[in-house]
Amino acid sequence: MELLTIGAFAKASRLSPKALRLYDELDLLPPARVDPDTGYRYYTLAQLERARLVAWLRRLGMPLARIRAVCALDAADAAREIRAYWARVEAETAVRRDLAAFLVAELTGEPRGRHTMLELRYAARSDRGHVRPANQDTVYAGRRLLAVADGCGPAGAPASRAAVAALRFLDEAEEPAAGSVLNLLEEAVRGANEAVQDLARDGDGGESGTTLTALLWTGSKLALVHIGDSRAYLLRDGGLFRITHDHSVVQSLIDEGRLTQEEAESHPQRALLLKALGTSGAPAVPDLRVREARDGDRYLVCSDGLTRVVPDALIEELLAAEPDPEAAVRSLIGAANAAGGPDNVSCAVADVVESARPAAAVG
Ligand code: MN
């Protein structure tokens, strides 16, 4: 077996000797032989392929630990891992892209002052369902805030109540400027997470936590904060759009192409969350985004007690059929219970409508 010096191997692999030494230290590409006296590293030609793979994966931005895992796989599995990694990068980038667009719009002073004032008409309701012994969901709707939280674990009910309670002040506050609304929400979620963690600590054993999905009205925009597998939807121009991404294990498997939507519905781990408030003392990093609202929009936030048993097509149909938010909420909850009501179910619906107040302050 021909051994190449690190210099020769560096030339052949187009990697620097410095990079090769680093990959050795990180256990990504150990040399074929290290001279016990001089410490010089030697490589074989057969190691070229791996050296190139490591270099490409570094260029892709893949973390070192993950590169090590990919290098240990056969080609087909390595390809699947890379695809999965990239799907995750793209999902995270999409959230950041929205945030960047929002900040650009704010900083370039996009025109304010519409000629019509908009406001929300809203309703909310929560139901135990037919199976669970207690209701661990909390839902809220007010003139600025819609929120749903789905608690789990022994302290699930107080956890979801605490999470929503930590956002309630936003409903009473003055209309927040669109520019500061994300800071406000992020702060509020931090407070909610602390409150839930305190509860989880006081509880006797068993992990407790809660999801939280909320929309905050700024007068022309809706800021969205989301963590867990509760959802927000928008009904616009007769079409239903889901505007949140579940932080669940099965959703990440779907994103990575390892599971189809159909397989996910019966997956044994479909209730497992990747992120929630309060669990494991981990920092709870919510998705935050701001959406432009339009006259005629209808928003729904709901717990998984609805979406697990009522397909999107039926949600769309029911939302479109009931002009009154209260009636819409009731019919959605009725549909979940008609499908067996296996879980607590909570819905809040808000319509964006022209304000009844005179639009005096518009200039
Ligand atoms: Mn639930």
Give the Å distance between the CA of 360 and the centre of ligand 1.
44
Structural domain ending residue among the three candidates 82, 111, 140: 111
The DSSP string of 18-59 is: HHHHHHHHTTSS--SEE-TTT--EEEEGGGHHHHHHHHHHHH
29, 104, 112, 256, 324 from 91: Cα distances, Å:
30, 20, 30, 10, 35
Q: Which residue's entry shows tokens 């630990």? A: 65
Task: Mark whether 158 and 229 lie in a shared domain.
Answer: yes
pLDDT tens digits, one per residue of 4-31: 999 999 998 888 999 899 889 888 899 9
Task: Mark whether 228 and 159 lie in a shared domain.
Answer: yes
CATH code assigned at 252: 3.60.40.10
Domains held by the chain: number: 3
Task: Mark whether 182 and 217 lie in a shared domain.
Answer: yes
Task: Mark whether 177 and 102 lie in a shared domain.
Answer: no
Residue 261 falls within a domain, yes or no? yes
Task: Mark whether 171 and 243 lie in a shared domain.
Answer: yes
Give the Å distance between the CA of 330 and the centre of ligand 1.
18
Task: Mark whether 23 and 105 lie in a shared domain.
Answer: no
Residue 361 falls within a domain, yes or no? no
Residue 190: how many other CB atoms lie within 10 Å: 15
Give the Å distance between the CA of 151 and the centre of ligand 1.
7
Residue 362 falls within a domain, yes or no? no
Give the Å distance between the CA of 150 and the centre of ligand 1.
5
pLDDT for position 90: 84
Residue 363 falls within a domain, yes or no? no
Residue 148 falls within a domain, yes or no? yes
pLDDT tens digits, one per residue of 149-199: 999 988 899 999 999 999 998 898 777 666 688 888 888 898 888 888 888
Contacts 24+ apart (CB under 8 A), 29-32: 29/54, 29/71, 31/6, 32/1, 32/3
Instruction: Print the domain residue range for 34.
Output: 3-72
Residue 136 has pLDDT above 60, yes or no: yes
* 242: helix, strand or coil: strand
CATH code assigned at 39: 1.10.1660.10
Give the Å distance between the CA of 31 and the centre of ligand 1.
52
Give the Å distance between the CA of 344 and the centre of ligand 1.
6
Contact between 149 and 171 under an 8 Å Cβ cutoff? The reply is no
The mean predicted confidence, pLDDT, of the chain is 87
Task: Mark whether 93 and 217 lie in a shared domain.
Answer: no
Which residues, in sequence order, are CB contacts of 287 under 8 Å at separation 6+? 95, 224, 225, 226, 227, 244, 245, 247
Residue 359 falls within a domain, yes or no? no
Give the Å distance between the CA of 342 and the centre of ligand 1.
9
